[in-house]
Amino acid sequence: MNYSPPVRATLRLEELKSRVFTLPEHPDWIPYRTSYYEPRWGFCASHRQMADLVDGDYEVCIDSALEDGHLVYGECFLPGDSTDEVLVSCHACHPSLGNDNLSGVTVAVRLAQHLVAKRRRYSYRFLFIPGTIGAITWLARNRERAARIRHGLVLTCIGDAGGFHYKKSRQDNAEIDRIAAHVLQHHGEPAEILEFSPYGYDERQYCSPGFNLPVGCLMRSVWGRFPEYHTSADNLDFLKPLSLAESLRVCASIVDVIENNRRYYNQKPYCEPQLGRRGLYRSTGGDGVEGETFARLWVLNLSDGKHSLLDIAERSGFPFSAIQDAAECLMEGGLL
């Protein structure tokens, strides 16, 4: 058990059993237990293994030490055109567990690799930290810098076969909250938006009232709600390569919106400019227009300097990428 103080002793089986955590309903799984800030010692084992032990004396040894040490964390910073930052945070305090730990690290690393080669409007900061104390430590050492964070995501439990869950930031309607909801809505897989609450992973720290950062939490299955959570069954078999890949794709889509969500001005705001003459118009042959053209009409109509492309995507029902494509075409055509 994590946080156990050192012990060397000989115990009778009865005494030993009182110190061992097992999962009777999953006799082959080993639970993952901690005793943070309470110096209690103990072991975690499979129920079957304990059942097989015969009566007798058992030698017990925990070679640990509760003493001051160092907190180690990883930080990866990718500078962008602006000093405004996007934060991606995952916990790395018990990486033997797959979904609840390793999946977040994996997706974050791949997302950083995806971004490193790109021109970036924002700067990106990736944190690989022990849960709770890691976020607290980083925030304590970077209080000024934290104020530069414009959008943030905590990634956890993001590699299993379950549908997506996005937990909103304390701000409740921050741009990252709208972006995550929009991307998940158009992504195709089942997804659910959860309200903020002051419990969970490191969004608790980023969303504490002194910081109140726009940081949400992206998950597939929600921590604590799947039986493998905090057991040895949350292993590499529980992670699905396709799920990890889709999770990365969702993260990349979120970053795409973050990078490209700007406000534009229609340069011909008095009535509709003739798109046909500029090669930007396609009818359906009947009396409608093709989706591509319709997206352009939306961008022209709402680009008054007040509506962002995300606003336009939300109001029109088009995915952000279609609205962004429309904006690019219109800019090339000199209309935006």
Q: Is 43 an interacting residue with respect to a second copy (CB under 8 A)?
A: no
Tokens standing for 131?
């849960």
Site string for a second copy, 73-112 (x = CB under 8 A): ----------------------------------------
Tell me which of 106, 231, 316, 324 binds a second copy, using CB under 8 A. 316
Helix-, strand-, coil-residue percentages of the chain, each rounded to 5:
35, 20, 45
Q: Measured between alpha carbons, how far is 62 from 2 in angstroms, rounded to an integer?
A: 11
Binding span for a second copy by CB under 8 A among 66-74, 123-131, 177-185, 194-202 = 194-202
Q: Closest approach of Cβ 12 to a second copy, in Å?
A: 25
> Between residues 290 and 332, which has the closer beta carbon with respect to a second copy?
290
Tell me which of 204, 218, 322, 324 binds a second copy, using CB under 8 A. 204
Tokens standing for 249?
């794709």
DSSP assigned state of 99: I
> Between residues 46 and 205, which has the closer beta carbon with respect to a second copy?
205
Site for a second copy in 208-227 (CB under 8 A): 208-212, 223-224
Cβ neighbour number for residue 285 with a 10 Å cutoff: 7
Tokens standing for 201?
């992973």
Site string for a second copy, 143-182 (x = CB under 8 A): x--------------------------x------------
DSSP assigned state of 278: G
Q: Measured between alpha carbons, how far is 220 from 242 in angstroms, rounded to an integer?
A: 13
CB 112 within 8 A of CB 159: no
> Between residues 70 and 277, which has the closer beta carbon with respect to a second copy?
277
- Within the chain, strands assigned E span 7-12, 20-21, 43-44, 57-62, 74-78, 85-91, 123-129, 149-155, 164-167, 191-194, 215-219, 263-265, 304-308
| Run of H or E residues at 328 | helix 320-332
Q: Closest approach of Cβ 205 to a second copy, in Å?
A: 5
Tell me which of 221, 253, 303, 324 binds a second copy, using CB under 8 A. 303
Phi, psi of 193 (to 5 degrees): -100, 130
> Between residues 27 and 224, which has the closer beta carbon with respect to a second copy?
224
Binding span for a second copy by CB under 8 A among 11-19, 48-56, 66-74, 282-290 = 282-290
Q: Measured between alpha carbons, how far is 255 from 111 in angstroms, rounded to an integer?
A: 9
Q: Closest approach of Cβ 316 to a second copy, in Å?
A: 7
Site for a second copy in 235-264 (CB under 8 A): none
Q: Closest approach of Cβ 208 to a second copy, in Å?
A: 5
Largest Cα–Cα distance of the chain, in whole Å? 92
Positions touching a second copy (CB under 8 A) are 37-38, 132, 135-136, 139-140, 143, 170, 197-199, 204-205, 207-212, 223-224, 229-230, 266, 269-272, 274, 276-277, 286-289, 294, 297-298, 300-304, 316
